[in-house]
């Protein structure tokens, strides 16, 4: 999961160029919900739907429930119980029956049942593919489509526990932060969703009109094929294609302050994802009489050929980032004047160049290419016979997975020709074959003469295509945006605006359920530290805001007829 604020990164990246004004200079310049004076060309952009406060259902307010010291103490205990379970997803996990590393997931299910007894009493619980959890709370009005709240149970491994200030599965509470692997990603969402539902269902007189589904995969950190990948088809068969009103999962770029505005940045798109693997087979031999290039040497030239060809940035007016910049130009015009000027002039090319020059923000509008894995050789005095390379791509909307595959073949063609390698490229991949056939003029193609004793096999896995863009207007978005504005009320204006995720979530497996998919961990970016690394932790006051959000969002959805 990616949780880094675009706005904060912009501020850091451009401070040296004097593009960023002090936030103190911006306070008080804008009336609540109004655009800045002098920027009339962007006033019509980024209109916000009304703030939506839940009510009329007889339930106590989220502020009353979740802002007391007692509520915080109870939530700390809940979150500690969940974080203490080492439900790690390893890339090489075997079968459920033989791999003992799955055992913590049994423990986690017991913890959830003990911690949230009312949810387990008043909902229907199904276990999909052993460890996938689907809770269904039936609504009274079958004409209303269900909502789906998602999170994942698994966490990434810990490389070295001795490097942590507090042991990663102790769930240490220091009075402000709760430390532990998964405390932010993504048991933060899991605990918040379950706690909101537990509170709602504890009111025995409350019966939702709209069916509520809570779905928790268990291998999102390993791309979700065994968890959400199995849950998605079950829900599609049950409710039909587009049978769900909306899906809300983790993700987005957080909540952050800039100028006199608080920006909430749910992801309304995800980049595509593909891992390309290269397996080079060459003649080995004694290293006392080496070839001019061993397999590792040949592979190093392939790496250089790839890295010499980074992908180009591209931005159009349908891209979420463009709308984000329109909102920023309207509500925080002085924070990055360069951006405001480019938006006012409708200078798409200039805006593209600007973002492309800001590392790592460039990857919001550019396909990333990362050489992450290389392996070869078995002994220091023997030339390697097999060398393996893995390259990870996150595919921008203007590119595609077949285009990435095609470019791989094109960019390594000189190396292939130099060493007269036989290439077996993406056998049986019809999408690649079709794309390559349409773009033959861009490359010399693969060599036809095969007389060198080397074979390069290209393959892919973990393929997901660029997701469709979810709506940022209409009744569903209005409820979503209105709830965000209500929960995160601010002296200035709260601006929910869609963004693109450079990573991927379990939502890749839910695309057929609804066009309304929002990836949003409803917490402030400053309240979640060190995701996927040492000393991961969450500020519990911010976590309480997440519980408030889910509680009020369910209520607002239940009162709506979308």
Q: Is 186 marked as binding a ligand? A: no
The tokens of 292 are what?
């001019």
What is the rounded CA–CA span in Å between residue 290 and residue 299? 16
8 A C-beta contact, residue 299 and residue 387? yes
Answer yes or no: 160 catalytic: no
- The question of whether 542 is a catalytic residue gets the answer no
Task: In whole angstroms, give the CA distance from residue 287 to residue 264.
Answer: 58
Burial letters for 228-261: b for 16+ Cβ neighbours within 10 Å, e otherwise? Answer: bbbbbeebbeebeeeebbbbbbbbbbbbbbbbbb
What are the Cα distances from residue 56, in Å, to 205, 206, 555, 559? 13, 12, 10, 9
Q: For residues 323 and 343, give the distance between their C-alpha atoms in angstroms, rounded to a whole number.
A: 10
The vertex-546 CA angle with 542 and 548, nearest 5°, equals 110
Q: Is 221 annotated as a binding residue?
A: yes
Check 186, 198, 219, 220 and give the catalytic one. 220
Residue 509 in marked binding region = no
d(CA 525, CA 536): 13
- Distance between CA atoms of 169 and 302, rounded to whole angstroms? 41
Task: For residue 558, say whether it is annotated as part of any ligand binding site.
Answer: no
Q: Is 532 annotated as a binding residue?
A: yes
* Whether 386 contacts 281, CB under 8 Å: yes
Give the strand pairing for 261-264 and 493-496: parallel
Contact 77, 101 (CB under 8 A): no
User: What pairs with residue 68 in β-bridges?
Assistant: none
Q: Give the Cα separation of 405 and 276 in Å (integer).
A: 8
List active site positions.
Answer: 154, 220
Could you tell me which residues are annotated as the binding site? Answer: 152, 185, 221, 249, 532
Could you tell me which residues are annotated as the binding site for Zn(2+)? Answer: 152, 185, 221, 249, 532
């Amino acid at each position: 999961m990616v949780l880094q604020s675009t706005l904060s990164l912009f501020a850091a990246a451009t401070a040296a160029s004097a593009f960023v004004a002090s936030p103190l200079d911006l306070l008080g310049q804008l009336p609540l919900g109004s655009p800045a004076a002098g920027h009339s060309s962007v006033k019509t952009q980024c209109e916000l739907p009304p703030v939506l406060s839940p009510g009329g259902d007889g339930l106590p307010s989220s502020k009353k429930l979740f802002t007391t010291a007692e509520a915080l103490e109870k939530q700390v205990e809940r979150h500690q119980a969940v974080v203490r379970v080492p439900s790690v997803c390893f890339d090489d996990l075997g079968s459920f029956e033989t791999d003992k590393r799955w055992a913590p997931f049994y423990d986690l299910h017991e913890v959830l049942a003990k911690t949230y007894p009312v949810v387990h009493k008043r909902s229907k619980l199904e276990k999909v593919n052993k460890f996938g959890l689907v809770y269904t709370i039936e609504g009274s009005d079958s004409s209303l489509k269900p909502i789906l709240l998602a999170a994942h149970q698994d966490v990434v491994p810990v490389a070295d526990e001795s490097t942590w200030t507090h042991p990663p599965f102790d769930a240490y509470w220091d009075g402000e932060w709760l430390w532990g692997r998964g405390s932010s990603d993504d048991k933060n969402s899991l605990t918040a969703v379950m706690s909101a539902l537990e509170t709602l269902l504890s009111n025995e007189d409350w019966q939702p009109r709209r069916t509520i589904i809570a779905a928790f995969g268990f291998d999102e950190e390993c791309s979700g094929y065994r968890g959400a990948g199995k849950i998605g088809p079950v829900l599609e068969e049950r409710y039909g294609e587009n049978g769900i009103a909306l899906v809300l999962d983790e993700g987005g770029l957080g909540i952050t302050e800039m100028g006199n505005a608080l920006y909430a940045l749910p992801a309304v798109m995800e980049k595509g994802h593909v891992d390309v693997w290269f397996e080079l087979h060459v003649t080995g031999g004694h290293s006392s009489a080496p070839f001019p290039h061993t397999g590792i040497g040949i592979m190093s030239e392939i790496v250089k050929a790839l890295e010499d060809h980074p992908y180009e940035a591209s931005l159009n007016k349908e891209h979420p980032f463009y709308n984000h910049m329109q909102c920023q130009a309207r509500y925080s015009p002085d924070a990055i004047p360069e951006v405001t000027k480019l938006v006012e002039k409708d200078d798409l090319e200039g805006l593209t160049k600007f973002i492309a020059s800001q590392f790592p923000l460039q990857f919001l509008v550019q396909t990333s290419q990362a050489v992450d894995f290389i392996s070869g050789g078995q002994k220091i005095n023997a030339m390697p016979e097999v060398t393996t390379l893995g390259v990870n791509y996150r595919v921008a909307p203007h590119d595609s997975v077949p285009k990435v595959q095609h470019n791989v073949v094109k960019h390594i063609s000189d190396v292939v020709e130099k060493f007269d390698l036989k290439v077996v490229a993406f056998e049986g991949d019809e999408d690649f074959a079709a794309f390559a056939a349409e773009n033959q003029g861009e490359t010399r193609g693969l060599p036809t003469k095969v007389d060198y004793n080397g074979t390069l096999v290209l393959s892919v896995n973990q393929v997901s295509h660029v997701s469709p863009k979810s709506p940022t207007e209409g009744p569903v978005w209005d409820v979503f945006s209105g709830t965000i504005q209500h929960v995160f009320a601010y002296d200035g204006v709260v601006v929910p605006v869609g963004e693109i995720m450079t990573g991927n979530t379990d939502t890749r497996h839910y695309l057929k359920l609804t066009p309304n998919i929002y990836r949003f961990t409803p917490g402030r970016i400053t309240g979640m530290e060190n995701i996927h690394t040492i000393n991961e932790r969450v500020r519990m006051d911010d976590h309480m805001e997440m519980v408030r959000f889910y509680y009020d969002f369910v209520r607002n959805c239940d009162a709506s007829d979308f």
